[in-house]
A and B are shown apart, each in its own frame.
Chain A
Amino acid sequence: MIIKDLEKLNEFEFLVQGDLNKEIKGCFIGDLLSWVMAKGQPGDAWVTVQAHLNVVAVALLREFACLIICDGASIAEETIEKCKEEEFTLIKTELSAYEVSKVLSKLL
């Protein structure tokens, strides 16, 4: 699947649109940055409630496909700005991490 496939779904609000044709190869759910760094895989959609600026650094270092902030967690303005600067897709959703993974698993 590609990121664009999520755009059609009402549950996902695209705050920053990066390369929407980028492939999503998998999904990683986690809020502990060390675990995310060590266990996440390039091409994963990273689902988390962490929405401060530093998650962008982790997402870029791990070469995730996109960042999905779940459970309606509030997102720092500087996180949005950084994603814009890096042209990295940032998605917000009210869905839980579990519900996001269900959606992704159907599309993957």
Chain B
Amino acid sequence: MLTKKYLVKEKDYVNAGKVSSSIKKELKEIGVDESVIRKIAIASYEAEINMIIHANGGEIIFSIDDGIIELVFADTGPGIPNIELALTPGWSTASEKARQMGFGAGMGLVNIKRYSDSFDLKTSTEGTTITLQFKVF
């Protein structure tokens, strides 16, 4: 089993996507199929961006075990008040600055759910944890 932990800083737009790039590199080295890497890259990028835009940063734990890749995105942000709304395509609470940069399309959580094989979201006013699983084969 391989496990790696990455830290994501709050409002660190400049480095947004860096962790997802590292994870993608890791998956390529292991020899994971391109189509699986694509799904993981999309979901991982969106979740990483969400941590930067909406939460206070947090940590991403990547693990691979027995043909299953798991990604856990844990933040200590304000939580998601209405999960149903947050999962509605096009709905966003992103700031004006984030929108000007092309973030905040309201497709983040939608894409995370769509491209993962298993999606679990736990949220409270103390933070949000998203656990994603992907089948390697």
* Chain A residues close to B by CB (< 8 Å): 31-38, 48, 50, 52-55, 57-58, 60-62, 78
Contact = CB atoms under 8 A, between A and B. Distances in A.
Range of interface residues on B (Cβ < 8 Å): 20 to 34
> Residue among A32, A50, A57 with the most chain B CB within 10 A?
A57
Interface in B42-66: 42, 45-46, 49
Given A32-B102, A35-B107, A54-B101, A61 B13 contact: no
B77 interface: no
Contacts of B13: 52-54
Interface of chain B, helix or strand or loop or mixed?
helix
Contacts of B21: 57, 60-61
B54 to A, nearest CB: 13
A33 B46 CA distance: 9
Given A32-B102, A50-B101, A50-B102, A58 B107 contact: no
